[in-house]
Structure 1
Amino acid sequence: MNVIVVNKRNIIVISTLIISLFLASGLSKQQAVQQLVIHGTLNNHYNPIKVDDSYSKEVFNLYLKRLDPSKRFLTKEDVVALSIFKYSIDDNIERNHFKFFNHTQKIYTKRLKYIKKNISSYFDTPLDFSLDEFLESDSDKRDYLSSLDELKDYWKKSIKYQILSQYISLKEAAVSDNTLITATFDAELEKKSREKVKKEFNDTFTRLSEESIDDHRNYYFDTLINVFDTHTNYFPPEKKADFDINISGKLEGIGAVLREEDGFIKVVRIVPGSASWKQGELKAEDLILKVAQGNKESVDLVGARVREAVKLIRGKKGSEVRLTVKHVTGEIKEIPIIRDIVTIEETYTKFSVIHDDRYDKRFGYIYIPKFYRDFKNSSGKNTTDDVRNALNELRLQQVDGILLDLRNNEGGALVDAVNTAGLFIKEGPVVQIKGLSPAQNVLKDRDRSLLYDGPLVILINNYSASASEILAAALQDFRRAVIVGSNSFGKGTVQTFIDLDRMNPAKTAFFNPLGSIKLTIQKFYRINGGSTQNKGVIPDITLPDASSHLDVGERHLDYALPFDTISPTTFTPWSRAPLNTEHLASLSQQRLSESEPFQNLIKHIHFIQERFDDTLLSLHIDTAISKKISTSSESKAYSDSIKEFDFLSINIPHQKRLNDAQKESYKQWSETIKKDLYIMESCSILNDVFQTYALVTKE
């Protein structure tokens, strides 16, 4: 096989000759996009790879995984038939044709029609829920099905499970909250369940059949470069406007970040202050199974693309959308949400004073949901100024320590991560950045002033990423702060967008718009030389995490760049109060072992883990109802165990300066603080750090 040799340059270089050849040779727009996407990535990616047989194998496997993540369309025979292209996709690219894509599309379309034709009649006959049948829901635990008969059998069991779940939900709705449902058969509810699932089945196949060949070719283009690394993607023109599918900001919607995963629409993050956040029931990692507008019938989202899901979920302010979701516990629930406009105030830094009666201490609490900055307005709001103002206010309150909360902070403006770190140190390096060139760029805090020099704890979790990891890692390396929580996400890379239309406007205007590529161009490194990539920031003190069983983090993503190291840079560790983090961790673990709230959490985590691992689903009515009752009972018991900590009181020192919207936002935020286990334990850790500072002061 021929190899496309990598040309390692750190600038956008697509020769005029290549573009001219597009026009001169009469190539199609799709062929132009394929060449530009590949060459643009090869010439600019941080870690370019050879487009050869090994590359072909990776593209082959990833594209089939994306096309049929649940292994419910393609058979083993189909995969074998397509395997003739497994090592020749590089040749397809060099010769600028789409043989692999075209053959895959043909087989996929054929299977869609086959399933639609052969399964539709299954809804016409009442089902028997007394049979001992099972469905393996985890596609990683089963191979592609061997024959069309096995494929039909899988679909029948899958549909039966959906009807059974719907049937149980209807039975639950027919009884009062405190009444347990029974397995007594109700023919009318069974018929209603079949009719509802049949409609969802037909809707799903209608949407799948309406996807154009260009839609699928765009997924293919994306796969061609996604094997370079997990954050390198192709964006067709319409997708660029919906980057990250963030239904928030100035959009009228619910305020949730979504993505496609294994054939489902998964909630990645709930935007603070959004309609979903205020409603409170939709959570990160939930799977959105259905969506309905007000009182209208639900539309099935299983197998739907994110773009289609977003169109259904978005809507005018004040209108209702009903989402049927599957929580990580396995519980399926319908959640009504009134759409709203997310105001920017809701995502700004907040701060308060927490009085802890256990130690008679006052701790400053600063919550940073993201690192924001208006680059078009030099006098606009930014994270650094807001944290500086918070620290000045908290110093006036004479707090005994500061808790900096970076949980769920997915990053943002790098300059603010660096400048915010500088508020807690006199001066020095904060992060190293390396691109294709051997040179290492060190970003430093050059302001010798020190705004706060007291006890400091930083709280992180699995969703703390990018810029928030830079801040936490820097202050950990300086030994300036104690890092508490769970392992951070591990995104230590920098991406940029390249507009394909702008590569050579004079020559590509004929094809415009061509879309964009987002590709990784640099990597972050800690000041100690280690990367935050993949590995993330490991806390000094680990706390139990309800999402620990989930595959959250860069290390779980396909084609994530590896952890590596470079030379450390010179810095002077914090010396005012040396922190014995091992001793602090020991004190924390002792408290956790005696804490009823944390023991309840650990018990709940074990239950969730068991449910998560139980992927073999029973289609027997008795077993299904028993499991449903058990799940509902455990979820309610844990929910009821969450109480406010009466030894914590919250004071908003700047309350009088807040407007009405801010006051309401702060009110809801304050109520969550008093129930937050992690804040409660972080206050205890802050008290331990305070004792260390007090001891040094005495000496």
Structure 2
Amino acid sequence: MPRRSSRIPTFVAGALLVVVALALGIFLGGHADLLPRPIRSALVADDEAQMVQQAIDTIEDAYYRPIRRDDLVDSSIEGAVNSLDDQFSHYFDPSTYRRFQHATNPRFSGIGVTIRDGDRGLVVQQVIDDTPAAKAGLKVGDTIVAVGREVLAGHPSSYGISLIKGEPGTKVTITVERDGRRREETIERAEIVSPVVESRMVTTRTGRYGVVVFSSFTSDSSAQVRAAVDELLERGARGIVLDLRANGGGLLNEAVDTASIFIPDGTVVSTDGRARDRHVYTATGGAIRASVPVVVLVDRNTASSSEIVTGALQDRRRAKVVGTNTYGKGVFQEIRELPNGGALDITVGQYFLPSGRNIGGRGVREGDGIEPDVRARDDPQTPRDEALDVALRELATESR
């Protein structure tokens, strides 16, 4: 009996030591930087990882002025992403990623503009009526070159947007460039209701036609397009112009659903990537009558999901495309969160239209985009919309 009683505590103690060692090993496996350098190097078997670790250690220890280790890690990750030479792949450090998450949170707000990337910052594409931006005098074509002290040149648009957006009632200072002159504006943020679909009936000598202006593929936006198209057809529209100019894209499923308004069945788009299987997205059914002529109106800022819809309708011979070459973004990205609180926004695959073509530059260069069937361009110096006039003439020809 004495022997048995003395063995139990020994066994329990040994088991506890194993559990503690296991837990410690798991923790240190994910926090190798907490270990003494010799032990850390011995445990990290990968030669490349050890080399990067040693380089960071050397800079941290020997550089002539103090450097935060977190900054070195951020810079090394950013450098790795930059080496991809992919304009659509980015690294968000922890603070930038938090701003990005806030920017996509519906509880946050902005100043009332839609934008696109520019060489010097964010180019204003639309100023929404009765918003802080409109009251501050911002105009289409203005470039937001800085937010506070942060210069936007060289950063993705998501970075600038994350700085501009914030809680309603808070203020943001932006630097705006127009005609070579710069000025600062301090604007109070507000909740913005940005319509993504606008429609109207246009009467010409040949009949009445519906125009649906679609600005962004957000959640449930395809349902808004469908409602607008149905209403115009009920009111007697002989054809539909789907205006995707300056539509930078958005959700893939909304692109498929939008194309399905006009295509009854079959392939809309397929995706493929090195680490993922090829997937074919098909029309979801319930399309409008095939006898209704459709024209898609595009420009150089028609990108991503907008190009999926445009290319699908063109490849399936369901619509004529009028305008200029589109942007040429034939790749898509995913957000992958990192243990340091940051995230990678990296290209993981390519889009392929029903014909099998990819209209992008594989991420590393500017793509050719979609070639329009009929070329047309609006002259912003005139009150008329010359490109829309061409689209309406094409509709008239198709509806005879």
- The bucket for the TM-score relative to the shorter chain is 0.7 to 0.9
Residue 368 (str. 1) matches residue 214 (str. 2): yes
User: Match for 2:337: what amino acid?
Assistant: D
Aligned to 1:23: 28
Aligned to 2:373: 540
Aligned to 2:315: 477
User: Match for 2:190: what amino acid?
Assistant: D
TM-score normalised by structure 2 residue count: 0.72
State how far apart, in whole Å, the 1-side matches of 2:97 and 2:152 are.
24
Aligned to 1:400: 238
Structure 1 stretches lacking a partner, 5+ long: 1-16, 31-89, 111-208, 292-298, 374-381, 502-512, 546-597, 602-640, 646-676, 695-699
User: Match for 1:519: what amino acid?
Assistant: I
How far apart are residue 216 of structure 1 and its match? 5.5
Pairing partner for 1:331 from 159, 181, 192: 181
Q: What fraction of aligned residue pairs are identical, expressed as a percent?
A: 26
User: Match for 1:348: what amino acid?
Assistant: V
Quickly say closer, same or farther: Cα 1:370–1:20, change in 2 above 3 A.
farther
How far apart are residue 403 of structure 1 and its match? 1.1
Over residues 354-393 of structure 1, what are the superposed CA-to-partner deviations in whole Å (9 max), with x where a residue is unaligned? 234xx253221111111222xxxxxxxx123222211211
Say whether the 8 Å CA contact 2:111–2:187 is kept in structure 1.
yes
Instruction: State the secondary structure of the residue aligned to 1:531.
Output: coil
Say whether the 8 Å CA contact 2:127–2:140 is kept in structure 1.
no
Instruction: State the secondary structure of the residue aligned to 2:32.
Output: coil
Quickly say closer, same or farther: Cα 1:26–1:248, change in 2 above 3 A.
closer
How far apart are residue 492 of structure 1 and its match? 1.9
1:189-268 equivalent positions in 2, closer than 5 A: 214-215=70-71, 217-228=73-84, 229-243=86-100, 246=103, 249-255=106-112, 266-267=121-122
Instruction: State the secondary structure of the residue aligned to 1:440.
Output: strand
Quickly say closer, same or farther: Cα 1:304–1:427, change in 2 above 3 A.
closer
Residue 459 (str. 1) matches residue 297 (str. 2): yes
Pairing partner for 2:342 from 509, 515, 518: 515
Say whether the 8 Å CA contact 1:270–1:276 is kept in structure 2.
no
State how far apart, in whole Å, the 2-side matches of 1:361 and 1:414 are.
34
State how far apart, in whole Å, the 2-side matches of 1:452 and 1:351 are.
21
Aligned to 2:257: 419
How far apart are residue 526 of structure 1 and its match? 0.8
Pairing partner for 1:355 from 172, 184, 203: 203
Quickly say closer, same or farther: Cα 1:98–1:225, change in 2 above 3 A.
farther
How far apart are residue 689 of structure 1 and its match? 3.4
Aligned to 2:224: 386
1:271-282 equivalent positions in 2, closer than 5 A: 273=128, 275-276=132-133, 281-282=138-139
How far apart are residue 415 of structure 1 and its match? 1.8
How far apart are residue 475 of structure 1 and its match? 0.5
Quickly say closer, same or farther: Cα 1:349–1:286, change in 2 above 3 A.
same
1:285-684 equivalent positions in 2, closer than 5 A: 286-289=143-146, 291=148, 301=151, 313=164, 317=168, 323-327=174-178, 329-335=179-185, 337-343=187-193, 346-356=194-204, 359=205, 361-373=207-219, 382-436=220-274, 440-447=278-285, 449-451=287-289, 453-501=291-339, 513-534=340-361, 535=367, 536-544=369-377, 598=379, 642-643=382-383, 645=384, 677=385, 680-684=386-390
Say whether the 8 Å CA contact 2:93–2:341 is kept in structure 1.
yes
Instruction: State the secondary structure of the residue aligned to 1:97.
Output: helix
- Give the paired residue count: 359
State how far apart, in whole Å, the 2-side matches of 1:310 and 1:105 are.
37
Structure 2 stretches lacking a partner, 5+ long: 1-21, 36-45, 362-366
Quickly say closer, same or farther: Cα 1:300–1:476, change in 2 above 3 A.
closer
State how far apart, in whole Å, the 2-side matches of 1:101 and 1:459 are.
55
Say whether the 8 Å CA contact 2:241–2:295 is kept in structure 1.
yes
State how far apart, in whole Å, the 2-side matches of 1:472 and 1:371 are.
13
Over residues 157-189 of structure 1, what are the superposed CA-to-partner deviations in whole Å (9 max), with x where a residue is unaligned? xxxxxxxxxxxxxxxxxxxxxxxxxxxxxxxxx
Aligned to 1:87: none
State how far apart, in whole Å, the 1-side matches of 2:376 and 2:29 are.
63
State how far apart, in whole Å, the 2-side matches of 1:242 and 1:392 are.
39
Higher percent of residues as helix: 1
State how far apart, in whole Å, the 1-side matches of 2:387 and 2:117 are.
35
How far apart are residue 452 of structure 1 and its match? 5.7
State how far apart, in whole Å, the 1-side matches of 2:250 and 2:346 are.
17
Quickly say closer, same or farther: Cα 1:430–1:25, change in 2 above 3 A.
closer
User: Match for 1:28: what amino acid?
Assistant: D
How far apart are residue 514 of structure 1 and its match? 4.2
Pairing partner for 1:95 from 18, 42, 51: 51
Aligned to 1:687: 393
Over residues 559-584 of structure 1, what are the superposed CA-to-partner deviations in whole Å (9 max), with x where a residue is unaligned? xxxxxxxxxxxxxxxxxxxxxxxxxx
User: Match for 1:351: what amino acid?
Assistant: S
